Amino acid sequence: MGCTPVVELNRLTHGIDGRIVAKLEFLNPGSSKKDRIARQIIEDAEREGLLKPGQAVIELTSGNTGTGLAIVCAARGYHFIAVMSRGNSTERARMMKALGAEVVLVDQCPDSTPGQVSGADLERVRQRTIELTAERGAFRADQFKLEGSWRAHFKNTGPEIIQQVGHIDAFCDFVGSGGTFAGCSKYFKEVDHSIDCYIVEPEGAAVLSGEKPTNPNHRIQGGGYSMPDLSLIDSACIDGFMKVTDEDAMYWARQLAKVEGLFAGFSAGANLAAAMQLLKTTHSGKTIAILLCDSGLKYLSTDLWPE
C-alpha cells in the first residue's frame, strides 16, 4: 500500500500555462487512497491496545474505506463489518464481500435519490453503525475521528508527492472524511507555508465553506455529505474553498479516461475540475497537485460511465 506513481497531466493542460500533477491512488491494492488509512488505523489500534485478537472491526463506508479495511482485516485475521448506504454503487459491496467482509446495507431516506447519498442517508448509516458496534462488541475504525485517518497521509502521501514532484504551489482535494486534506495540507505547510491548500466541495453542498446545502443529493460519491464539523481538519491549513458541479466532475473524470488513459472516479474528476479552475485563474503558471482517489471500475453501474 502506498508509493503510488505521480504523472503530469500534460495532455489535458496543453495550451494552458501551468502544470497539474496527479497521484494515482487507484493503484493501491483496494483501488483507492483509503487503503492507506485502513492500515494506519488498524496498526494504531493494535499498538494502543484498542483492538484485541479475535475482536470484530466495524466502520461505515461509501465503499473505499471499507474495501481497505476488508483487505487489512483479512491479512491480520479480524472479521470486518462494513455498513453502507444502498445509494452507493453496487460494485463496492460486491468487492468487500469478495474480500471476506460482512456488508450491512442501509436503506436510503424516502426522499433521497437512488444512487445519490445525502447527509440524511449517511446519518442513517451512522446510527446503524453505532448500534452494531455495541451489539457485536466491535472496534469502530472511525475514519471521521481517529488520528490514523490523517496521519497516514501526513506520514506517507504528502511526503511521497514532494519526493516525486520536487515543488508544488498548490494542492486541492475533494473532502469526504477530511483525512487526506488534513494530513497532506499539514505536511505541505510544514515543508513550505506558501503552498496553497484548497478544500473542494460539491456545488450546492459546500457546508465547510459556510453555505447552507441546497443540493444534498449531488452525484459525487464519497464526500459532500453536509457535515460541517470534520474535526480532523486544521482550519489554519485551509487557504480557500472551491465548488465543483456534478457535471464538471463527471466531464473531467471522462476526460481523464479519454485523453490521459487514466480510469478514475467522481472525486478524481472533481479534483481535476478544481485544479483546472486554479490554473485558469489565480494560479496560472503554477504546479498544482491532486489525487486520483479511486478507480473508475467502482462506478460502472452509475451514470458516470454511460452505456
Per-residue pLDDT at 227 exceeds 70: no
Marked catalytic residue, from 62, 177, 226, 267: 267
pLDDT of residue 207: 86
Catalytic-residue membership of 231: no
Same fold, 6-32+147-299 and 34-140: yes
CATH of 6-32+147-299, one of 3.30.910.20, 3.40.50.970, 3.30.930.10, 3.40.50.1100: 3.40.50.1100
pLDDT tens by residue, 31-80: 999 999 999 999 999 999 999 999 999 999 988 999 999 999 999 999 99
pLDDT of residue 219: 78
pLDDT of residue 79: 98
Marked catalytic residue, from 23, 33, 34, 298: 34
**Three-class DSSP labels, the chain:** CCCCCEEECCCCCCCCCCEEEEEEHHHCCCCECHHHHHHHHHHHHHHCCCCCCCCCEEEECCCHHHHHHHHHHHHHCCCEEEEEECCCCHHHHHHHHHCCCEEEEECCCCCCCCCCCCHHHHHHHHHHHHHHHHHHCCEECCCCCCCHHHHHHHHHHHHHHHHHHCCCCEEEEECCCCHHHHHHHHHHHHHCCCCEEEEEEECCCCHHHCCCCCCCCCCCCCCCCCCCCCCCCCHHHCCEEEEECHHHHHHHHHHHHHHHCCCECHHHHHHHHHHHHHHHCCCCCCEEEEEECEEHHHHCCCCCCCC
pTM value is: 0.92
Across residues 253-279, what is the average pLDDT? 97
Average pLDDT, the chain: 93
pLDDT of residue 62: 85
CATH class of segment(s) 34-140:
alpha beta
pLDDT of residue 242: 97
pLDDT tens by residue, 168-222: 999 999 998 899 999 999 999 999 999 999 999 999 888 888 888 888 777 787 6
The domain spans of the chain are 6-32+147-299, 34-140
Catalytic-residue membership of 209: no
